Chains A and B, each alone.
Chain A
Amino acid sequence: MPTVEISGNTELRKALRRFAPDLEKNLRKEMASGLKPVVRAARGFVPAESPMSGWAARSFSEGRFPTYNAQAIQRGITYSTTVSKKSKNGFTSMASIKNKSAVGAIYETAGRKNANGQNWVGPKAGGSGKGVSRSNNPKAGQQFIDNLPPLVSSLQGRGRLIYRAWAEDKGRAHNIVMKAIDKTISEFYARSAAKTLGKAA
């Protein structure tokens, strides 16, 4: 008896779309139901005002460092139930929660790599490397991080918004998503065995 075996997220979703679109739709719906609360909680962690007065938006700024914008951060925190593009390491994911905005990413991850800020080289240092602090203030990085809430560890990494929400969710969203995926795969294989798959128009 011929069997259908699907390996890989992209192939699975492609097969679902072609032969069981209802399952695919239901999968997305169920995954969204698990991810929405996390996104909502993460948006709730965004402070309305800038943690530092100097980071707040001002009428004129020549700097390229993005100023604090709570709405932009909140807008940038989203979830996706589509298969992600292949990463540079060749991995894809079935669903994801992202902090897309630049300012949101800064708030989320500041201090994650260098807890005391990047190494200070000052404004007069040569080169164009981005991994160093070129501020006039040698302690700028340290002070910036100190003014932000502490990083929260989760099983997916450390952060202040989506990672914190993920940690506080305590795996509920993950459980919902994985269950939905497993259920869909089982159903798909069952239909395949029963030959009730129909190609979508």
Chain B
Amino acid sequence: MATENVGIFIDSKADLKGFKEAETAAAKLNKNIKTLATSLGVAYGTRAVVNFGKAAVKAFAEDQAATIRLAKAVDNLGMAYANPEITKFISGLEKSSGIVDEQLRPAFQALLTTTKDLGTSYTLLNDAVDISRGSGIDLATVSQDLANGYVGITRGLKKYNTGLTQAQLKTKSFSEVLTVLNKQFSGASAAYLDTYAGKLDILTVAADNAKESIGKGLVDAFARAGGGQSVQDAVKTIESITQAVNALVTTVSFAVEGLVKLYRFFDFIGSLGGLLKVKPQKMAADTTKQQTTIAKTQIKASTALTKAQKTNTAELKKQATLKKAGTVFDLEQIQLVAALKGKLSDEEKLRVEAQLALLNGNVDLAKKLTDQILAAQDSTGNLSKFLSALPNARNPFEYLDAYLSYLAGKAAAIATGQAAPNAPSATATPAPMPSTNVPSAANEPMISYNTMTGLSYNPNANQPVINVTVQGNVIKEQELIQQIQNGTQLASLSGSPSQIGRIAGMFG
């Protein structure tokens, strides 16, 4: 069951895409028809003439180039005298075979350069025309195959289906092969010319020749108009004329437009109203297209920028995360943070915070905290005063002077018999230490560190006292030993279970 209409459709809109396309296509068609209709009046004639003029000039130029090419080849063969005759032959053959001279000349050139004989080339070209018509293969190929066959290369002749094998083609002379070919294709050209297509070809040749003739005339005329004699001068003149004609047509079209507006005002030519919309429509379409292109470019650029910004932000975030992770796993910082969480005195806390600040590279905070620590150590300022008032370092060997003088005096006394001088006395006393608020160091007991065992031993520490209380009457050492032996014996005889852990080396 069709349930298409059983529903509530919200914000329904006509999707006119298809209709719009059809409308646009119809408008375009209408516009084209009008353009064509407009052109038919004035422009088409001019345009056709100009186009025909261009084509004629081009045909003449090509024909002239082919003629010169062949003439040059004939000159090079030392047969320059034969050029008029060749031209006449080509012209005659063109008319009789319905093949344009642009095809005949290269074919003849190929044969002449190979055979180097005019008569043979004429004959072969005639044969080639027949073979080409009979086989359907183009004249240039046939001529080249015949030229190759003339010099013994008969491989290309196989495609004409003469009935000769490759070996026969090789063994037979060219004249024999040509006889076979002529026998097969003789009269093909004449027969072809009897057909409708052949007659059309003859007409084409005639038209082509006419075009070339007209082209020659136009070239001469335009070249003269352009102030020269070459084809290039003629082409320039034609282009100039074309532009002038186009400008004229445009001007005329504007004039017509004005007239149409005027006529429309009088409501005389309502049917020509569509002409007025052609130009604005095109302009609007161009503007829309341009705007769309700009919008697309901007959207593309915006997308690229957003992408780059996103990438940059992501990278920064990544780096920040890594740094944070590195901070989290910095053991030294962990220890410091843990220490801060513990019970610390104010001064200790300051020290830890200062170290933490130094680790994190916070110079200002570290300096501030360090100053606080120093102030806390010496709030009276006496320590710094004492340090600044300290005298210069004394000579540690000062006493040697007095001692040596004493020894010298004593030696002199021995020698002279006089009384010995008094011994020097060390009376220098160091300056007393000032009182500060720095706590005095605790009277640490002497600690020895055994590098072999890693254990510390403090000989000043109190010796541990082990008291063993034994049930019974134990006064002497012997009695203690006896008690232990009895206990051990009793335990072994009682059969109480015992366990031995061999791996751990335990017994119990």
- A90 touches which one: B11, B19, B291, B302 (CB < 8 A)? B19
CB-CB nearest in chain A for B12: A93
Indicate if the CB atoms of A199 and B299 lie closer than 8 Å: yes
Contacts of A196 in B (CB 8 A): 302
Kindly report which residue of chain A lies nearest to residue B17, judged by CB atoms. Answer: A8
Size of chain A's interface in residues, with CB distance under 8 A?
A: 48
Q: Does B266 contact A (CB under 8 A)?
A: no
Binds A, one of B1-9, B162-170, B339-347, B350-358: B1-9
- Distance of A46 from chain B, by nearest CB (Å): 14
**Residues of A close to B7: CB separation below 8 A:** 96-99, 162
Report if B279 contacts A (CB, 8 A): no
Tell me whether A9 and B13 are in contact in the complex, defined as CB-CB below 8 angstroms, given that A198-B302, A198-B306 are known contacts.
yes
Is B9 a contact partner of A90 (Cβ separation < 8 A)? no
Q: Which residue of the partner chain A has the closest CB to B4? A: A87
Q: What is the number of contacts between chain A and chain B, taking CB atoms within 8 Å?
A: 100
Q: Are B12 and A91 in contact (CB under 8 A)?
A: yes
- State whether the Cβ of B243 lies closer than 8 Å to any Cβ in chain A: no
Please indicate the chain B residues that have their CB under 8 angstroms from the CB of A19 in the complex.
299
- A197 interfacial by beta-carbon distance below 8 Å: yes
Q: Per-position contact with B for A91-129: 1 when CB-CB < 8 Å, else 0? A: 111111111111011101100000000000000000000
Contacts of B15 in A (CB 8 A): 8-10, 86, 90-92
Q: Which of the segments A134-142, A144-152, A173-181 contacts the partner chain?
A: A173-181
Interface string of A61-101 (1 = CB under 8 A from B): 00000100000000000000000101101111111111111
Residues of chain B contacted by A96 (CB below 8 angstroms) = 7-10
Contacts of B12 in A (CB 8 A): 91-93
Answer yes or no: B18 CB below 8 A from chain A CBs: yes
Q: Which residues from B are CB-within-8-Å of A58?
A: none
Which residues of chain B (1-50) have a CB below 8 Å from chain A? Answer: 1, 3-4, 6-19
CB nearest neighbor in A for B306: A198
A3 an interface residue at 8 Å Cβ cutoff? yes
Min CB–CB distance B345 → chain A (angstroms)? 56
Q: Are A178 and B11 in contact (CB under 8 A)?
A: yes
**A38 to B10 Cα, complex, angstroms:** 13
Contact A199 B10 (CB under 8 A): no
| Contact between chains at A166 and B8 (CB < 8 Å) | yes
Given contacts A19-B299, A105-B3, A105-B6, contact A95 B11 (CB under 8 A): yes
Which B residues are CB-close (under 8 A) to A106? 1
Residue of B nearest to A34 (CB): B10
Name the B residues within 8 Å of A91 (CB-CB): 9, 12-15
Q: Is B294 close to A, CB under 8 A?
A: yes
How far, in Å, is B305 (CB) from chain A's closest CB? 9
User: Closest residue of chain B to A108, judged by CB?
Assistant: B6
Say yes or no: is B313 at the interface (Cβ < 8 Å to chain A): no
Q: How far is the CA of A8 from the CA of B295 in the complex (A)?
A: 19
Q: Which residue numbers of B lie inside 8 Å of A, CB to CB? A: 1, 3-4, 6-19, 291-292, 294-295, 298-299, 302-303, 306
Q: A98-B6, A195-B302 are in contact. List 10 more A-B contacts (CB 8 A).
A: A2-B291, A9-B11, A91-B15, A92-B15, A93-B9, A95-B10, A102-B3, A163-B8, A198-B303, A198-B306
The 21 listed contacts between A and B (C-beta, < 8 Å) are: A2-B292, A2-B298, A4-B295, A8-B16, A31-B10, A91-B12, A91-B14, A91-B15, A92-B12, A92-B15, A94-B11, A97-B10, A100-B3, A100-B6, A104-B3, A105-B1, A105-B3, A105-B6, A156-B8, A177-B10, A199-B299
